[in-house]
Amino acid sequence: MLMLAVKNGTLDSLGPLFERYHVKLFNFFLRLTSNRETSEDLTQSVFQRILRFRHTYKENYPFRAWMYRMARNLHADHYRKHKRSMETFDESHHAEDSEQLAVDAMENKERKQNLLEALHRLPLEQRELLLLSRFEGLKYDEISQIKGITVAAIKVRVHRAMARLREIYFESSENGGNAQ
Amino acid sequence: MKCEKISRQMTALWENSQEPSLPEDVRRHLGQCESCREEWEQLSVLMAELDAVEEVQPSTRLRENFYSMLDNAKAAPESGSGPKNTLIEPTIWKFTPWAGSIAAGLALLLAGFWIGSQQTDSLVESVPQPKTVAAQELESLQGQIESMKEMMAVYMMEQRSASKRIQAVGYTDEMSKLSPDLFEALRQRLNQDDNVNVRLASLNALTRFAHQENVRAALVDSLPRQIHPVMQIMLIDLMVGIDEKRAREPMQQLLNSAITPLEVKDKALRGLGQLL
């Protein structure tokens, strides 16, 4: 309803949408990039795109799925531009940013740091899928609309991603981590 | 094959659930299959860990930039290229002449504090109990800085630009106390601002002080004054959240009114049920 108002010219209605979603979006980007500044810029860019492309919003399309679709595209652009540095990050489980993020957000709890590190060891596609389904609380049919594949395929991929995460997480904890 | 199917089923149970219950057939299988049982236990631990990860709050810069962008877009809503893709830096020191004076005042205060602390340090060796003096000075100067910040926020809330007013409301996030002046300024923004986003920001700012009786009374009083459904819904949610029973009357009025939107009526009805 609010997005429809934005589309019809009541731009102020974007305010409540921003208030509702910006922290979620920021955290989505933060867990993908491990960089606060980049995540704030990407969050801002999502709302810029929503404004710019408001005329293309379709009434029957769920707003949240539309918004995360833009968020994914923006992150994909960002990832392409900064691939080299991000690959370095992905391969390094002890990168400074990763540690800083874990220290800030996880209140120095090594167990939670292990979890974040395990997440970062997943391939980007699997990490993104788990962020959408677990952290952002999206239903499989919403994710299926965002990614343009069937709900059945999403189920299979989430299952594989969870299996991989479980493997990494419990393997790392057995190798000296503090996880349960 | 059976285990693989059970395994997929177990993962799917966690879709939008924090404590899924196991269907009977899965439960029976787990009773007989140790590896699937271990998988379920690991999955449960992992999901609990994932759910325990706290959200990180972005800086206030994000909100300020968003509302600046929205203002720009409103100024030229139909321009083909849309809003510019630039992030606007906070302009706290630039936009009004009095802001410059306040900035200068703050700088003087800080300089005074620094000189004072240097002198106090040099007295440490000769005067007994010098730390008490320093602590008192520090406290007094901190108080003065806080009140200057507050004065600045109150003045800025009168700005013509809605984004500046939102920015001003945002500055109150850093304040530990709600002075009468600041309270009055926020109350006015909440009830009288012609921009719903400023009203929304003021509501968020006042929510932090909802444990104070004067703030609670002002919030109850604000409900019948709000005409935007978003404000009505947010206020009803808040009233229920802080268990403020005085809000029952304005909620009942909203319910009885012919012009109240349906979704607000629905919210009010549920709220009334919760505020018994």
Choosing from B145, B176, B207, the residue where a domain stops is B176
- The pLDDT tens digits for B100-135 are 555 566 566 656 555 555 554 444 444 445 556 777
- Which of A156-170, B17-31, B98-112 has the lowest average pLDDT? B98-112
Percent of residues, chain A, with pLDDT higher than 90: 48
Greater model confidence, B208 or B122: B208
Q: With respect to residue B149, please indicate whether it lies within any of the assigned structural domains.
A: yes
Q: With respect to residue B187, please indicate whether it lies within any of the assigned structural domains.
A: no
pLDDT for position B110: 59
pLDDT for position B124: 45
- Asked if B143 and B169 sit in the same domain, the reply is yes
Identify whether the C-beta of residue A87 lies closer than 8 Å to the C-beta of residue A134: no
The span from the CA of A127 to the CA of B201, in Å, is 34
Which of A47, A112, A155 lies at the smallest CB-CB distance from B53? Answer: A112
The span from the CA of B235 to the CA of B212, in Å, is 16
Q: What is the mean pLDDT of chain B?
A: 79
- Asked if B100 and B172 sit in the same domain, the reply is yes
- The pLDDT tens digits for B174-192 are 777 888 888 999 999 999 8
Q: With respect to residue B186, please indicate whether it lies within any of the assigned structural domains.
A: no
pLDDT for position B126: 45
pLDDT for position A100: 52
Contact A44 B82 (CB under 8 A): no
- The pLDDT tens digits for A85-114 are 544 434 333 344 555 554 454 444 677 778
Mean pLDDT confidence for A48-58: 92
Q: Quick one: B273 exposed, middle or buried, by C-beta within 10 A (0-12, 13-18, 19+)?
A: exposed
Provide the total of helices (H) and of strands (E) in chain A, helices listed first: 10, 0
Least Cα distance to B181 among B207, B208, B146 occurs for: B146
pLDDT for position B80: 42
Q: How far is A71 from chain B (nearest CA, A)?
A: 15
pLDDT band at B95 (very low <50, low <70, confident <90, very high): very low
The span from the CA of B197 to the CA of B166, in Å, is 8
Greater model confidence, B52 or B237: B237
Contact B15 A139 (CB under 8 A): yes
Q: With respect to residue B89, please indicate whether it lies within any of the assigned structural domains.
A: yes
pLDDT for position A38: 92
- Asked if B27 and B69 sit in the same domain, the reply is no
Whether residue B259 lies within 8 A of chain A, CB to CB, comes out as no
Is residue A136 classed as helix, strand or coil in its secondary structure? coil
Q: Tell me the torsion sign for CA atoms A34, A35, A41, A43.
A: positive
Give me the number of domains chain B comprises. Answer: 2
Interface residue of B70, B161, B194, B198 to substitute, partner A, most A CBs within 10 Å: B70
pLDDT for position B58: 92
pLDDT band at B222 (very low <50, low <70, confident <90, very high): very high
Contact A111 B49 (CB under 8 A): yes
pLDDT for position A116: 84
User: Distance between terminal CA atoms of chain A?
Assistant: 45
Structural domain of B161: 61-77+84-176
- Which of A35-49, B72-86, B194-208, B244-258 has the lowest average pLDDT? B72-86
Is the pLDDT at A44 greater than 70? The verdict is yes
- Asked if B11 and B99 sit in the same domain, the reply is no
- Which of B28-37, B43-52, B129-138, B262-271 has the lowest average pLDDT? B129-138
Domain boundaries, chain A: 1-81
Greater model confidence, A50 or B142: A50
- Asked if B18 and B105 sit in the same domain, the reply is no
Identify whether the C-beta of residue A126 lies closer than 8 Å to the C-beta of residue A161: yes
The top-level CATH class assigned to A1-81 is mainly alpha
The residues, ordered by sequence, that sit 6+ positions from B91 with a Cβ below 8 Å of its Cβ are none
Q: Tell me the torsion sign for CA atoms B66, B67, B72, B78.
A: positive
pLDDT for position A90: 40
Percent of residues, chain B, with pLDDT higher than 90: 22
Choosing from B152, B176, B200, the residue where a domain stops is B176
Residues 117-176 of A with CB under 8 A from B: 130, 133-135, 137, 139-140, 155-156, 158-159, 162-163, 165-166, 169-170
Is the pLDDT at B228 greater than 80? The verdict is yes
Mean pLDDT confidence for A124-136: 90
Greater model confidence, B131 or A144: A144
Q: With respect to residue B251, please indicate whether it lies within any of the assigned structural domains.
A: no
pLDDT band at B22 (very low <50, low <70, confident <90, very high): confident
pLDDT for position B62: 93
The span from the CA of A123 to the CA of A23, in Å, is 24
Is the pLDDT at B226 greater than 50? The verdict is yes
For the complex shown, is ipTM > 0.90? no
Please give the torsion angle defined by the CA atoms of residues B144, B149, B153 and B159, in that order, rounded to the nearest 10 degrees: 110
Q: Quick one: B128 exposed, middle or buried, by C-beta within 10 A (0-12, 13-18, 19+)?
A: exposed
Q: With respect to residue B20, please indicate whether it lies within any of the assigned structural domains.
A: yes
Choosing from B124, B148, B176, the residue where a domain stops is B176
